[in-house]
Amino acid sequence: MNERASRRWGFLPLLRWGTFGRSWRAAPLVMSGLTLFLALLAFSWLGPWVYPQSPYTIHPHRLFLAPSLQHPLGTDDLGRSFLARMMYGGRPSLGVAIVGSILALLIGLGYGMASGLSPVWLDRVFMRILDAILALPTLILMIFFAAIVPLSPLSLILLLGLLSWPGLARIVRNEVLAYKERDYVLAARQYGAGTGYLARTHLLRSMFPIVIVNATFTVADLILTLAGLSFLGLGIQPPQPSWGGLLGNGSNLAITGSWWLILFPGLAILLAILSMNLVGQGLLNRLEGR
Partner 1 sequence: MWAMIVRRLSVSVVSLILLVTLVFFMIHATPGGPAYSILGSHASPQAVAALNRQMGLDRPLSVQYGIWWIHLLEGRLGYSYIQHVGVSHLIGTYLDRTLALDLGALSLSILISLVVGLVQGYWAERLGGRVIGFLQIVFYAMPVFFTGILLIYVFSIRLNWLPPGGIGHHGWGARLRHLALPVLTLALPVSAGFSRYFGHQAREEYRQDYVRTARARGLSEWRIATRHVLRNAVRPFVTLVGMMIPVLFVGGVLTESVFNYPGLGWLLWRSALDQDYPTLSAITLLIGVLTILGNLIADLLNSILDVRVRYE
Show the CA angle centred on residue 77, arms to residues 76 and 79, nearest 5°.
60
Buried b / exposed e across 211-231, counting CB within 10 Å, b at 16+?
A: bbbbbbbbbbbbbbbbbbbbb
DSSP 57-94: ---TTSTTPPP-SSSTT-B-TT--BHHHHHHHHHHHHH
Q: Please answer whether residues 207 and 175 qualify as being in contact, where contact means their C-beta atoms are separated by less than 8 angstroms.
A: yes
Q: 45 and 287 in contact (C-beta within 8 Å)? A: no
Pick from 203, 224, 236, 284: which binds partner 1 (CB under 8 A)?
224
Q: How far is the CB of 214 from partner 1 (least distance, A)?
A: 16
The residue among 151 and 176 lying less far from partner 1, judged by its C-beta, is: 151
Interface map 99-138 toward partner 1 (x if CB under 8 A): -----------------------------xx-xxx-xxxx
- For residue 32, how many C-alpha atoms fall within 13 Å in the half-sphere facing its CB? 11
Residue 25 CB, nearest distance to partner 1 (Å)? 17
Any contact of residue 250 with partner 1 (CB under 8 A)?
A: yes
Q: Which stretch binds partner 1 (CB under 8 A): 11-19, 60-68, 86-94, 275-283?
A: 275-283
Contact between residue 82 and residue 90 where contact means Cβ atoms under 8 Å apart: no
Cβ proximity to partner 1, 203 vs 266, nearer residue: 266
Q: What is the contact mask toward partner 1 in residues 165 to 204, using x (rule: CB under 8 A)?
A: ----------------------------------------
The binding site for partner 1 (CB under 8 A) comprises 128-129, 131-133, 135-141, 143-149, 220, 224, 227-228, 231-234, 244, 247-248, 250-251, 254-255, 257, 259, 262-263, 266, 269-270, 273-274, 277-278, 281
